[in-house]
Amino acid sequence: MLNIFKEEENEEEEENKENNEEEEENNEEEEEEENEEEEEEEENNEEEEEEEEENEEEEKEEENEEEEEENKENEEEEENNEEEEEEEEENKENEEEEENNEEEEEEEEENEEEEEEEENNEEEEENEEEEENEEEEEEENNEEEEENKEEEEEEENEEENKENEEEEEEEENEEEEEEEEK
């Protein structure tokens, strides 16, 4: 009877031992599972953090690229504005130069016209003076010719008068002679 009791006790102990072992194993498994879960969660957290970091870096890089692109566009726009201003300034200078050239040409043309008119006036005056001189000379010649003609006529008249006188005298002489003869 004692043996049976002992045997039962041994069996019970053994069973308890087995149970304890099983429970310990279960505890170990559970702990291992928990550890694995923790480790997995930690890994997941790390991955998530890395992903967040990567996303932040990408976002920052993208912002930098956008800013760089914007700066580039602004720089290009500024350059274009400068070029446009330079072109406008150049066009304005060219326009002013063209206007000045036109004014200068007009002034030269006016001066040439004035000079030509002055020359024409001088020539006209000279021609008038020459014509007046010619007229005066012709008038003098006519006067001289008229005087010569008058002188010649006067001489002829004198000559004629003289001849007439001589004739008359001769006639008188003849008459006297005739009377004397009578």
DSSP, collapsed to helix, strand or coil, labels residue 1 as coil
pLDDT in tens, 148-164: 999 999 999 998 999 88
If one counts every other C-beta atom within 10 angstroms of the C-beta of residue 180, the result is: 7
Number of structural domains the chain divides into: 1
Mean pLDDT estimate for the chain:
91
The predicted pLDDT at position 23 comes to: 87
Domain that holds residue 158: 153-182
In a domain, 118, yes or no: no
Share of the chain above pLDDT 90, in %: 69
In a domain, 30, yes or no: no
In a domain, 38, yes or no: no
In this prediction the pTM is 0.38
In a domain, 90, yes or no: no
**Beta strand extents in 16-123 (DSSP E only):** none
pLDDT in tens, 67-118: 999 999 999 999 999 999 999 999 999 999 999 999 999 999 999 999 999 9
pLDDT in tens, 25-46: 888 888 999 999 999 999 999 9
In a domain, 165, yes or no: yes
* CA dist., res. 40 & res. 47, Å (int): 10
In a domain, 178, yes or no: yes
Res. 8: pLDDT tops 80: no
* CA dist., res. 109 & res. 112, Å (int): 5
Res. 2: pLDDT tops 70: no
In a domain, 163, yes or no: yes
* CA dist., res. 52 & res. 169, Å (int): 171
In a domain, 176, yes or no: yes
